[in-house]
Structure formats: C-alpha cells, structure tokens
Structure 1
Amino acid sequence: MKQKNLGVNTICTHIGEVEDTQFKGAISPLFMSSSYAYEDVDVKRYPRYFNTPNQEALCKKIAMLEKCESALIFGSGMAAVSTALLAFLHKGDHVVFPQTLYGGTYNFIVEEFEKFGIEYSFAKGFSEKDFLEVIQENTKVIYIETPSNPLMRITDLEMIGDLAKPRGIVTMIDNTFASPINQTPADFGIDIIIHSATKYMGGHSDICAGAVAASEKHIDKIWNLAKNLGGSLSDYTVWLLERSMKTMALRVRAQNKNAKKIARWLEKHPLVERVYYPRLSSHPDHELAKKQMKGYTGMLSFELKEKLDANLFMKSLKMIKQSMSLAGVESTILSPAKTSHSLLSAEERKNQNISDGLLRFSVGIEETEDMIADLEGAFQQISNKSLV
C-alpha cells in the first residue's frame, strides 16, 4: 500500500499493523514476549527499549497521523509529558508555559523542576506579546496546550513556531484535547506533539497510555532518556490501543458533532452563566480555532449560574457519568476544582478562572437528544432545589 496521501480513516485502520505471516489473520497478532534473542538478529528487542514488534508498529500509526517522522508510546500521558520535557531541559535551562495547564502537568512543574535546577515562567495570556515577555536567553523549550484544559483556550500554533525557531527553542504541545483528527500541530511548525493516549486515541476508558510524535532526531533524544526512566507500555495495552485507534476518526467526528449541538443548547440555557467551546462565536479564540483546527473537539466546559449547586447537578444526571478522565465513547462530567485541578490551591485556580461552578463535559457518541434530556433533568433538579 502506498502511504502517501492516505485518508485519515485508512491510516487509522491500516498503518501500524503487524502482519500475521503465519495464519494471515485480518488483525495484528499480539507478541507478549518480554524476552527476545540478541544474537543473529537485525534488532535486539527489549520492552523497556520501546522496540517490541507491537510497540514499533503502533508508533508508525501515531507518527503518520501527526505528520511526523517518528513516535514513542508510554505508560501514561504524564510519562510522555515528563520524559519529553526532561529530555530537553537541564540545570540552568528555562522553559515557558501558558498560564492555563492541565493540573497534573502544573503539579509536575512546581514540585519537580526546582530539584533539577530548571527555571520556568508562565505567560500571562495567549498573545505573542505575552510569550515574548517571558522568553529569556536561557529559554530552551516553549510548551503549550491547545485547546487548554478545562477552558478550551486556543494558542496560535504558527505564532509559537515563528517565535521559537529563530531563537533555537524547541516547541512542544499537549494535543490531547484536539487529537490528530482535529489538529496536526506539525503543519504549523511545532516540533514535538504529546498525547495522553488514554483519551481520544484509546477512546473506551479502559487503557492508560501516552504518546510523543516528532522528528527522528527529537525522538532519539527522548528515547535516550525514556529507556532509563522506564515508562514503557505493556504489549497487551499496545495491542488494545492499536485496535482502538482503528475507529478514532469515526468516534472523534461523532463527538465533535454532538459537542457542537450541546454547546449551542447550553449557551441558551437560563441556568448557564457561560459555555467554553471554541466552535461558538462567543468563544474568545473562535477565529483562531477556525484557522488551525479541522473539527474542534468533543470537549467543552460550562459554568452554572452563581449559587447553583454543581455537585447536586452532577449527581442528578442519569446517563452522563460523573467520572474522572475524558474522551471515551460514553459521556462524562466532572468538577475540575475537585479533580484535574485539585492539586492547585484555591488562589491558583482563581487565577486560572476555574470556579467551583465550572463543569467539564466530555461529550460521547450517544444520541444528542438523549444527552440534552439528561442535562435538562439535572437543571430542573437544581432549579427546584434553589426554590426551596
């Protein structure tokens, strides 16, 4: 099969398969061995070296989806984030982050970087000026998330690439909320693309994994550290992830469609203060999202009117699950203040505009009408409660 100009569903389905040479099965065989021969072989394979047959094959799929030369898979999204950052940062180096970050990434930075002698700054906003203000002579990395978690803010990828390249700065993005179906940062000059593959790549809330895609040169540098940190993924989980990614484009596009309808419905609801979804014209980064995203995302957040009980609202839902994580085929909802950003202080959450009434909604593939009915039932519950 010629691999040039393949459609995304074809890439998801066929690239990165392991050929079943013995029985000619339609799917990849699973090689569970943790011990391989080292004499008279082309490749000396070892699971912690990220080069078992299933690991290598899956990396080809991820690399092609992200339009990169190479990729690595990890045991979790945070393993991918931490390994990628530490591979390019050393004592005395400086890194720039946006103000809004996934809570786990933020906690990693503030708790661990000082131990390594790594300096860091947070941009106050999302403009070129905001990033320029915090870039220093020893800045080695600019790391961004777009869309951001949980407010769906959009960072201009082309602007970040243009800022970094003449200064010799490596750029990294957490592309989890978009997925490669909705956004390919390499098109805009971003060097390293990171995913919590637990989310849209896995898509079924049953595996934990991470991924990094980049040039072969950058992947080699990340691998050199990764093999020492040991954040590799079991081959069974690798096989499950490759299986799940076959339907990723279908799932994500269905979630995009549902999220658009629900965001518009929520925006008109009298008990909702604000909806955060980049496809809405009311979103501050709507025009930028149109420029660099293909299908936006299945993620949105909304804020209840003041004094409404967010916890009661979630408990009143019947179908939508009050649950951690995101991007599964089933719809889930959570309070960022109590989960993804609970490691931040109340003041830090306030600085990121994360209120106790903010709810993050991961839209699934259920019928839109059923989700809206479930949401309306919960709104009625909190409305009745507020009248008592």
Structure 2
Amino acid sequence: MKKRPGLNTVCTHTGEVEDKRFGGAVSPLYMSTAYVFEDIDEKRYPRYFNTPNQQALCRKIAALEHAEDALIFGSGMAAISSALFAFLRKGDHVVFQNTLYGGTINLVREEFEKFGIEYSFTEGFAPEDFEREIRPETKVIYIETPSNPLLTITDIRAISAMAKKHNLVSMIDNTFASPVNQNPIDLGIDIVLHSATKYLGGHSDILAGAVASNSEYIDRIFQLAKNFGGSLSDYTVWLLERSIKTLGVRVKAQNKNAKKMAKFLAKHSDVEKVYYPGLKSHPDHELAKSQMRGFGGMLSFELKDGLDVSEFQKSLKLIKPVMSLAGVESTILSPTLTSHALLTPEEREKQGIKDGLIRFSLGIEDVKDLMEDIDQAIENVKSKVEVVS
C-alpha cells in the first residue's frame, strides 16, 4: 500500500494547481467562466464543478478525508441538501440524529414533506436509538458528531456497521471535528459533509461547503448538484485552498486551547456545567478517545443561575460575540439566538439546549488572555447584579 503523506504535507501540497508559466509557489487563479469546448476531453464550466481551481481543491479535500473524491459548494447547506436529495426520493425515509445543526433540521422540516420524503429523529444517541427508527423504506442514516452545540459523541463505527447491515447510505456532518481530528470514512461512513466556512476556511471570511466520498457517490451527488447550482466561485475556491494549508497547525492549536479552557471553566465557581468531550467527566469521553485524534476547538458551558448571558457576552473585550465558529479568533454565541433559533423552545428543551447555554469556539490566542477575559466579564455581570440587589 502506498504510504499516505502526513497531514500538514497534504494541507500544504495536495491539490495544488501547478504554475507552469512562471513557476510560482502558490496556485494560480483561473477566473474564467468560459472555456474552449472543441477538440478537448473535458468541457469546463463553473457550475459543473470542473474548473482548474475547483478540481484541485476537491483533490485536497478528498485527500484530507481519506476519500476517493470530493465536491465543493457555495455553503455547507448546499453540500448537505445536495447530498441528501441525491439519495432520497418520494416515499423514502431517512433517520436523523436528534441533535443536529439548526439549519439542517430546518431544511428537513421545511422541505422534505414537499418532496414526499419521510424522516425520523432518534430519541437518543445510542445505536439502539437509531436501529429503532429504521423502516423498510429507510435509505439514509445521518449523524453529526461531535454535535452542535452540546458536543455529544455518536458511535461512528456502530452507525456505519448498522448502515451496512440494512443497506443504507451513511452520512456524517464532520464540521466540528474537522479532518484533523476525525476521519469518518476510515470508520466505515459513506459520505462526509463539511461547512467549509468553519475549520477548513478558518478565518471567518469564506462561505463554502464540501462533500467527500467514493467516486460513485460523488458522481451521483454531482448529477443533482449541477442542476441545483450550488457551485463556488473560483476566487473563493482559491482562498479556501490557501486557508487549508494551515488547517493542521490551526486546529491543533485550537484543540490545545479548548482543552485548557474546558478544565478552567469546569473548576470555575460561576460556571454551572461544561460540555467538552476532552474532559474525563464528559459521559462520552472514552468513545471520543476511540474515534478522534483530538477533541476539537469547540465547547459549551452554562453560567450559574442569576448571571445574565447577554450581559456576559457584551462584557467580553477579547472574545467576540458573533455568529459562526472555528476562526483563528475566539468567538462566543447563544445557540438559542443564533444557530438553533429556528427551533421551537420545546424542541430546544428536548435537545437539552437551555437559554443560558453559551457555545465557545476557541481560537489561537494565548489561552491565559482568554481566561482573563472570561473572568472580567463574569465579574462585571456580578457587579451589576449586586447593584440591582
């Protein structure tokens, strides 16, 4: 077997567009939307995902996920919707994990009924919870691990084995883990999905999505995706290829910061609970160790009762209270007001998402500075509570 290059080598070199004219060290950018079509083997067109920069980036993402092939999209939701609709038809059924990205849940609730596609959400995360929902008409099983925003871990090996047993297509949203920490295809999953806006982009300035799988499944997704029109502009493709060069070093720094921050918050007198799979107290810690190389740069926590979350976020000076995640800068948000705002209060409560929950995306800053920012923000909130009292 041919030896696979190391992670940072893949990030830096795989999928480069060779600059044959000037010998530049970085990929040249081809901005054309019109290519010659006579006397050539491949007719290039941006909506067909086959411009030089698009194809090069797909090779890089496929290599990162240990897949045969990949496709890139204009957003994570474009990738998710294209993959799901490529394998589901009227009368089909799909099993979803009960805690998913809010946008994915909204897609299912708003659109599937129009196409006659049925779906079920599991009650829990155990393999038997998934097995219980499988029907004769089930075609797809879909998971997200670590989950957003409570960092719950689903057993990837068990789900992939179950999918094979029932002849189902298995899909996973691997955004929170990133290819640095987790490669689901090695664990038996068929299709890996990413919001490339997050860790793959990593600088809070790119909107993109990605799908990685075997060549047969990627072609099937392509046949639908070219009609949906969710392709990515070549300039953004070029920026994303540039960003992925530092993916390995960025994510490893974020892993390190998140683990230190989780331990700090777990001991903090003003923090009620911390959700991070790297903590030994996390109920899925051992499972996470068995399928992840690192525990990720994401965590969530709840402040003690009486401490206003909104006021806490406004009091931060270094950590940015903004939407999205996984940038080199640390960010924080309330899932109730952002990522899961489309869910009803009852749905959020069922998933364990409280109004006081805070999702924390660790960046690459010095972690002591981040801890000091947390402390001063909490003290500011407490001082205002004391004044009111």
Question: CA offsets, 1:330-367, max 9 Å, x none?
Answer: 00000000000000111111111111110000000000
- Which residue does the alignment assign to 1:321? 320
Check if 1:158 corresponds to 2:157: yes
Whole-angstrom distance in 1 between the partners of 2:51 and 2:270: 52
Give the drift of 1:189. 0.3
Whole-angstrom distance in 2 between the partners of 1:305 and 1:89: 44
Letter in 2 for 1:95: V
> How do 1:36-55 and structure 2 match up within 5 A?
36-55=35-54
Check if 1:184 corresponds to 2:163: no
- Which residue does the alignment assign to 2:32? 33
Q: Secondary structure at the match of 1:195?
A: strand
- Which residue does the alignment assign to 1:343? 342
Whole-angstrom distance in 2 between the partners of 1:303 and 1:175: 24
Give the drift of 1:282. 1.2
Letter in 2 for 1:34: T
- Which residue does the alignment assign to 1:113? 112
Give the drift of 1:3. 7.2
Letter in 2 for 1:270: S
- Which residue does the alignment assign to 1:330? 329
Q: Secondary structure at the match of 2:211?
A: strand
Check if 1:232 corresponds to 2:256: no
Give ranges in structure 1 of 5+ residues lacking alignment: none
> How do 1:14-93 and structure 2 match up within 5 A?
14-93=13-92
- Which residue does the alignment assign to 2:99? 100
Question: CA offsets, 1:99-130, max 9 Å, x none?
Answer: 10100000000010000100000111111111
Give the drift of 1:381. 1.1
- Which residue does the alignment assign to 2:359? 360
Whole-angstrom distance in 1 between the partners of 2:96 and 2:296: 22
> How do 1:190-269 and structure 2 match up within 5 A?
190-269=189-268
- Which residue does the alignment assign to 2:375? 376
Whole-angstrom distance in 2 between the partners of 1:191 and 1:387: 55
**TM-score normalised over the length of structure 2:** 0.99
Give the drift of 1:385. 2.1
Letter in 2 for 1:319: L
> How do 1:125-140 and structure 2 match up within 5 A?
125-140=124-139
Check if 1:301 corresponds to 2:291: no
Q: Secondary structure at the match of 1:343?
A: coil
Whole-angstrom distance in 2 between the partners of 1:140 and 1:387: 56
Question: CA offsets, 1:129-188, max 9 Å, x none?
Answer: 111111111110000000000000000000001101021100000000000000000111
- Which residue does the alignment assign to 1:145? 144
Letter in 2 for 1:67: H
Q: Secondary structure at the match of 1:133?
A: helix
Whole-angstrom distance in 1 between the partners of 2:315 and 2:221: 45
Question: CA offsets, 1:229-282, max 9 Å, x none?
Answer: 000000000000000000000000000000000000000111111000000011
Shifted more, 378-387 versus 64-73: the winner is 378-387
**Aligned sequence identity (%):** 66
Give the drift of 1:386. 2.3
Shifted more, 3-12 versus 152-161: the winner is 3-12
Give the drift of 1:4. 3.3
Letter in 1 for 2:299: L
Letter in 2 for 1:83: S
Whole-angstrom distance in 2 between the partners of 1:89 and 1:100: 21
Question: CA offsets, 1:74-94, max 9 Å, x none?
Answer: 000000000000000000000
Whole-angstrom distance in 2 between the partners of 1:56 and 1:73: 9
Q: Secondary structure at the match of 2:206?
A: coil
Whole-angstrom distance in 1 between the partners of 2:306 and 2:216: 53
Q: Secondary structure at the match of 2:212?
A: strand
Whole-angstrom distance in 2 between the partners of 1:306 and 1:100: 24
Letter in 1 for 2:346: E
Whole-angstrom distance in 1 between the partners of 2:160 and 2:382: 47
Q: Show structure 1 runs of 4+ deviating over 4 A.
A: none
Q: Secondary structure at the match of 2:133?
A: coil
Question: CA offsets, 1:292-330, max 9 Å, x none?
Answer: 000110000001112320000000000100100000000
Q: Secondary structure at the match of 1:290?
A: helix
Q: Secondary structure at the match of 1:96?
A: strand
**TM-score normalised over the length of structure 1:** 0.99
Letter in 1 for 2:49: F
Whole-angstrom distance in 2 between the partners of 1:120 and 1:220: 25
Count how many residue pairs are aligned between Structure 1 and Structure 2: 387
